[in-house]
Structure 1
Amino acid sequence: MKISCSREPLTNAFSLAASVAPARSPKEILQNVKITASGGKLTLTATDMEVGIRLEVEEGVEIETEGTALLPVQRMMAILRESNDETLTLMTDDSGIQVSGARSTFRLPGSNPDEFPPVVSFEEDKYHVISTRFFRSMVRRTVFATDTDNSRFALGGVLLEMTGNSVTAVGTDGRRLASMQGEGESIGGHETSGTSTIVPTRAIQLMERAVDENEDTVDVAARQSDLLLRTKTAVIYSRLVEGRYPTWRQVIPKRDDAVQLDLTVGPVFAALRQAAIVTDQDSRGIDFTFGDGTLKLEASTKDVGQSQIELPIAYDGDPITLTMDHRYLADFCKVLDREQSFQIEIESGASPALMTTDDGYSYVIMPMSRDR
């Protein structure tokens, strides 16, 4: 194999592929990215046997001799990051791989690319077509709420429900729940069944990262034990999390007598950050009191101090106080535009708070005990 390639597009693709390769593995061959030069383009593949990725690079690629090679992730990434050359030449021979720039030459050992495990391509005839904008928003608004504690394995990913023209994503850790519903187009009658299409947190974050915001749509295919995503230049494969998701719709409150208030993200987030100044790792609760035309945020931590922040609101009813973990409300604010309005529904200090937006986003926070 002998090719020359513009460094920037190669670096972008290699960096994304490298994020899949394991830093440590009993199978050392997995600590490489496989590169295939054929048909006027480069195909990069990487896998840790749970997640796999295929990326195509055509921009700035010139292939003199077709072939394949394995590029060690750590060393190749360092070369790409430190090089100042606009174009790099990659050439393989019996002794390994040579990477050359205008005034630099590196030789790296090479492994047999035939021993690298295959990464599946997207050949499904049943899948959902989802707008890129919605897919990225859907992931960002739910993935932060997943559980990173392996003791609750089924919560360690985002649940995807795809039926007809509807797509819903859900993330929860048992203390808060985020769901996002929007439109998609079912091709070939594609749909998910039950509550088992749970995409691991790391994998769906990679998918969101791989999606080019300049593309209009992405294709998503759920199978019995895995899920595939396709863009114009990438295919990402992920095994699904084992287990079944909880009946999450029962978590979203349905109340007739709850208080509903319209708020704006920016002012709420600013007040929240101020109130949280006196919190610490062991004392994360903030009291939110709604009443007398004011939202009052109060925090108190021994040996740290106290805070009281007031925000005008359109509510003059009986005061309602509930205690929430400030981090959970901050996470909600971070994934929305500062100018965006949302509705908060509250009932009592013992009931969960429900936040909703007019574009299909719902977020539930369970209250903390008052003694925190």
Structure 2
Amino acid sequence: MKITIMSEVFHQALGDVVRAVSTRTPMPVLTGVHLVAKEEGLTLVGSDSDLIITRELPAEAGKLDVEQPGAIVLPARYLAEIVKKLSGPIHLQLIDDTTADIRCGEIKTKLKGFPSDDYPKLPVMEESETLQLEASRWMEMLKQTVFAVSKSEAKPVLTGVHISMGEGRLISVATDSHRLAYRETKIDQHIDRACIVPYQAIGELIKLWDGKTEVVEVAMNEHHIHCRLGETSLYSRLIDGKYPNVSGLIPEGSETLVKMETKQLLKGVDRACLFAGEWKNHNVYITIHDGRMKLSSAATQLGNIEESQRIMEIEGTEEMKMTLDGKYLMEALRSVKEETVTLQFGGIMKPVVIRPEGNATHLQLISPVRAY
């Protein structure tokens, strides 16, 4: 293996793949980055066995020149630090199957690693079952649901986002049993698949998207999901288990339906949370009376805060009181892109359904908090 690569190109690619590398692994080879040079370019792979990130760099004059193909696994931490501190063309050449010679100007480095054959192979995906989707739409769906996953390992299936394809729809759902986030979109391809993706993988995928790649390719098999964004790919091991049927959790009717301005309500809830930290569930009290919504919170030793906002429209019972988790309510409202939002109240101890006005493909559900 013998290549010449510009330091900024190498540094950026390493920055992507090392995100998947763990220093705490029973397999020493996984502490490294797998470098595979072929005539057409260089592939970098980082993995912790559950999450894999790859980056493909095409051979290009002035950026990457592959003089001799080959492969090696080099320690991720040291390789990234070395490249970070270099400027200009970097010449990397193998001395043997475990040692690389790295040169840049007058700087010479020898770095020991592992044989390429010791590195795990990438999962094999069914390319015929690959979904192609507008990347911005896919990322928006994930951002609007991933925050609602459970952070507790008591129910592993709830620590992931449930992704399903079928009947011309792509659906993303997350719940921690106290709240639920749901988002769907139409797709042209007829694919019938479902899986539970760990929230850590979803978070890394969102970070990897540069905002420029227009199309994402998504493929699933029994154990993995593969998302390709241009030259960057992410593979994630799936969570085993059966995801709960959430359709029955969403109430159809309501006692009170109000329409509010999204940003104004979000700012009000944010202010109300100022004194909500004393409570385990960040209690924010909501009172609907005389065409207005009052938001308030109180801390025994500190004080309280309350404000009143005008309700744009109201249907049903015009007086109501409820306590919600202010943190959950803020996260739900932040996921709404539309200017106005509807809140559907079914009763004092029934879940609140939050929907962007005019968008039936997105909803948030929050269970009320017992305030005593």
Structure 2: how far apart are the matches of 1:133 and 1:145?
A: 20
Q: Which residue of 1 aligns with 2:364?
A: 363
In the TM superposition, residue 41 of structure 1 has moved relative to its aligned partner by 1.2
- In the superposition, the TM-score normalised over structure 1's length comes to 0.91
Give the whole-Å Cα distance in 1 for the aligned partners of 2:12 and 2:125: 22
Q: Which moved more, 1:104-113 or 1:62-71?
A: 104-113
The 8 Å contact of residues 179 and 364 in structure 2, kept in 1 or not, is answered as yes
Residue deviations 1:59-87 (CA, integer Å, cap 9, x gap): 6211122211212111122233344x143
1:87 aligns with 2:85: no
Report the 3-state secondary structure (helix = DSSP H, G, I; strand = E; otherwise coil) of the residue aligned with 2:154: helix
Name the structure 2 match of 1:347.
346
Aligned twin of 1:158: 161
Q: Which residue does 2:331 correspond to in 1?
A: 331
Does the aligned pair in 1 maintain the 2:126–2:220 contact within 8 Å?
Answer: no
TM alignment of 1:198-347, pairs within 5 A: 198-255=196-253, 257-280=254-277, 282-283=279-280, 284-315=282-313, 318-337=318-337, 340-347=339-346
SS of residue in 1 equivalent to 2:141: helix
Alpha-carbon distance between aligned partners in 1 of 2:241 and 2:225, rounded to the nearest angstrom: 15
In 2 relative to 1, CA 246–290 (structure 1 residues): closer, same or farther, beyond 3 Å? same
Could you tell me how far apart the structure 2 residues matched to 1:329 and 1:6 are?
A: 47
Q: Give the SS at the match of 2:56.
A: strand
2:30 corresponds in structure 1 to 30
1:42-101 deviations in whole A, cap 9, x for unaligned?
A: 111122222223220126211122211212111122233344x14333222137223333
- Could you tell me which runs of 5 or more consecutive residues in structure 1 were left unpaired when the two chains were aligned: none
TM-score when normalising by structure 2: 0.91
8 Å Cα contact 1:40/1:61 also seen in 2? no
- Do the aligned partners of residues 310 and 80 (structure 1) sit closer, same or farther apart at CA in structure 2, a change above 3 Å counting? farther
Give, in angstroms, the shift of residue 281 of structure 1: 5.3
Q: Given the superposition, is the C-alpha separation of residues 79 and 340 from structure 1 closer, same or farther in structure 2, using an over 3 Å criterion?
A: farther
TM superposition shift of 1:212: 4.2
Instruction: Give how far 1:238 is off.
Output: 1.8
Question: Matches of 2:212 and 2:331 in 1, distance apart?
Answer: 26
Aligned to 1:77: 80
Q: Deviations over 1:213-243 (max 9, x none)?
A: 3233222122223222223313322221111
Is contact 2:284–2:326 with CA below 8 Å preserved after alignment? yes
Structure 2 residue aligned with 1:134: 137
Aligned length: 363
Cα deviation digits, residues 315-340 of structure 1 (max 9, x gap): 57532111111110111233344x63
**SS class of match (2:155):** helix
Shift of 1:263: 2.0
* Long gaps (5+) in structure 2: none
The structure-2 alpha-carbon separation of the partners of 1:280 and 1:160, relative to structure 1 and needing over 3 Å to count, comes to: same
CA–CA distance in 1 between the matches of 2:176 and 2:363? 15
3-state secondary structure, aligned to 1:125:
helix
Deviation at 1:273, TM superposition (A): 1.6
Do the aligned partners of 1:279 and 1:304 also contact (CA within 8 Å) in 2?
A: no
Q: Secondary structure at the match of 1:307?
A: strand
Q: Which amino acid aligns with 1:191?
A: D
Q: 2:16 aligns to what?
A: 16
After TM superposition, list the pairs within 5 Å mapping 1:191-202 onto structure 2.
191-192=192-193, 197-202=195-200
Of 322-331 and 261-270, deviating more is 261-270
The change in CA–CA distance for 1:251 and 1:92 in structure 2 (over 3 A counts) is same
User: Aligned partners of 1:304, 1:73: CA distance in 2, in Å?
Assistant: 49
Partner of 2:49: 49
In 2, Cα distance between the equivalents of 1:315 and 1:289?
15
Distance 1:330 1:72 in 2: 41
- Relative to structure 2, which stretch is displaced further, 161-170 or 307-316? 307-316
> Hey, what's the Cα distance between the residues in 1 that align with 2:186 and 2:6?
38
CA distance in 2, matches of 1:355, 1:51: 33
**Is the 1:290–1:315 Cα contact (8 Å) retained in structure 2?**
no
CA shift in 2, pair 1:88/1:291, >3 Å: farther
The letter of the residue matching 2:251 is: P
Name the amino acid aligned to 2:274: I
3-state SS of paired residue (1:53): strand
CA shift at 1:105, angstroms?
Answer: 3.5
Q: Identify the residue that residue 186 of structure 2 maps to in structure 1.
A: 183
Give 2:213's aligned amino acid. E
